[in-house]
Amino acid sequence: MDNIGGATVRRVTRRLIPLLGLIYMIAYIDRQNVSYAKLQMVGDLGLSEAAYGLGAALFFIGYCVFEVPANLVLDRVGARVWFARIMASWGAVTIALAFTQNAAMFYVLRFLLGAAEAGFFPGVLYVLTLWYPQAQRARAVGQFMVASAVANAVGAAIGGLLLDLDGLAGLRGWQWVFLVTGLPALLLVPVVLRALPRGPDEARWLDAAQKSWLAATLDAERGAGVRHANPLRALGDPRVLMLCAAFLGFPLAAYGLGYWLPTIVKGFGVSNTVNGLLNVIPWTLVGFALWWLPRHAARFRDQRWHLVGPPLVGAACLVGSVLAPGAWPKFAFLCIAAPAVFAAQPIFWTLPPRFLTGAGAAAGLALINAIGNLGGFVAQTAVPRIRDETGSDLAPMLFLAACLALAALGVLLVERRLPRPT
CATH 1.20.1250.20 is held by the domain 232-422 = yes
- SS3 label, residue 344: coil
What does the mean pLDDT of the chain come to?
87
Model pLDDT, residue 302: 80
pTM, to two decimals? 0.85
Model pLDDT, residue 398: 92
Q: What is the pLDDT of residues 267-303, one digit of tens each?
A: 777 775 676 678 788 888 998 999 999 989 888 888 8
Hey, do 8-207 and 232-422 end up sharing a CATH topology, with the first three levels equal? yes
Question: Domain extents for the chain?
Answer: 8-207, 232-422
DSSP characters for 212-243? HHHHHHHHHHHTTSB--SSGGGGGG-HHHHHH
Of the given ranges (34-43, 163-172, 203-212), which has the lowest mean pLDDT? 34-43
**Distance (Å, whole) CA 238 – CA 235:** 8
What mean pLDDT do residues 190-195 have?
94
Model pLDDT, residue 40: 83
What mean pLDDT do residues 120-129 have?
92
Backbone phi, then psi, for 199, in 5-degree steps?
-165, 180
Which percentage of the chain shows pLDDT scores above 90? 45
Q: What is the pLDDT of residues 219-259, one digit of tens each?
A: 888 765 555 556 778 788 899 999 999 999 998 888 878 76
Instruction: Find the length of the chain.
Output: 422
Residues 6+ apart with CB under 8 A from 214: 8, 12, 131, 133, 200, 206
Residue type, 213: W
pLDDT exceeds cutoff 80 at 11: yes
Model pLDDT, residue 422: 60
Of 182, 162, 155, 24, the C-alpha closest to 99 is 182
CATH code linked to domain 8-207 = 1.20.1250.20
What are all long-range contacts of 74-80, with beta carbons under 8 Å and residues at least 24 apart?
Answer: 74/119, 74/123, 74/126, 74/127, 74/362, 75/126, 75/231, 75/358, 75/359, 75/362, 78/198, 78/199, 79/123, 79/127, 79/196, 79/198, 79/199, 80/192, 80/193, 80/196, 80/197, 80/198
Model pLDDT, residue 164: 80
Of the given ranges (164-178, 361-375, 383-397), which has the lowest mean pLDDT? 383-397
